[in-house]
Structure 1
């Protein structure tokens, strides 16, 4: 086997690694409007609603989600988990009170910007390595050289496909917010509850006058 060819084959992975920029670096100034706009967020919303017929709530929630470009991920007798395009989330949530009285709402957002950038940088680096291995394969003069290059090419391709799947899953989670809606009947106090309610109103009247 030619020595220069073997050296090139060994040096190529190290060169590809050094060429990869740091995923933690951003071209935008920290705190700038563009930097904030470009953040990758996975948004999750949980809403608990009260309505006289909670069993009809899930179907109405799915219909509302479809009207905003979303779809149903999981539906049960008294709940619905839907996926909503991130750009339609605010509009969708504004319509949610039409499904019932909102008793509780929680919104959380996970910032995955660095993980997103890291995957994209690693994919770009692997793609460059793949192209160089293909060029190297064309230059292989012997069967043994071709076998070595093909082995490295298969390794890089497998790693590329694995990272590509992870990137697609991450971008899907960012593009579509997850909203869980739970429906239940309004809770009305019983006879004893009404007594305590009346006492509470009476005590309030003793200390607070309108």
Structure 2
């Protein structure tokens, strides 16, 4: 799946005063990889992530979740077949541009409000006024820190793609399985000719 990008708009066709918005995309991928030694896969996936500028977020005996820079995700996915046969791959892109912009605006507004309360605190004359301003300042600061944390988390998800890899042994049919495999081919041949 290709990364969703903002459409190109020439400067001539752009409306006067229009702002160009860069898209905020969260990319994730999930892969099932078949190999004869699945227990060796997670360590190799971690090493592959490091070569692409990423790191391992979590590693178990037969799976790994790695984070790689979003702009290098396609290169990482192209290199995964070196770890084994890719049996299944899913790549998703989630556009969070509106949420990202909303958090930025809220944070800027809270920062302005906090600065005004700090000014009021400097001008407070009575103890009662000081306590009221400090109480409001504390509330606004807590809200500011909450939105700042959310924004940092969202920006981390946009900057680094998350890739989950699960390693398993290839399934090979036994003697009876081959009989049914052959029967399936024969029945298909009876009804469908290529």
| TM-score greater than 0.5 by the shorter chain | yes
In structure 2, the gaps of 5 or more residues are: 1-5, 10-18
Query: TM-score when scaled to structure 1?
Result: 0.77
Which protein is richer in helix relative to its size?
Answer: 1
Query: TM-score when scaled to structure 2?
Result: 0.83
Deviations 1:47-92 (A, max 9, x none): 0011111111111000000111111111111111111111111110
Q: Which residue of 1 aligns with 2:129?
A: 145
In structure 1, the gaps of 5 or more residues are: 1-30
Deviations 1:66-123 (A, max 9, x none): 1111111111111111111111111100000111001001112222222211111111
Tell whether 2:95 aligns with 1:111.
yes
Tell whether 2:193 aligns with 1:208.
yes
- Match of residue 165, structure 1, among 123, 126, 149: 149
Q: Distance in 2 between matches of 1:201 and 1:92?
A: 36
Q: 1:197 Cα shift?
A: 2.3
Instruction: List structure 1 runs of 4+ shifted beyond 6 angstroms.
Output: 34-37
Q: Which residue of 1 aligns with 2:15?
A: none
Q: Distance in 2 between matches of 1:77 and 1:36?
A: 46
Number of positions where the alignment pairs a residue of Structure 1 with one of Structure 2: 179
Q: Which residue of 2 aligns with 1:5?
A: none
Q: Which residue of 2 aligns with 1:33?
A: 8
Kindly report the root-mean-square deviation, in angstroms, between the aligned alpha carbons of the 2 structures.
Answer: 2.1
Q: 1:36 Cα shift?
A: 9.6
- Computing the radius of gyration from Cα coordinates, the structure with the larger value is 1
Q: Which residue of 2 aligns with 1:82?
A: 66
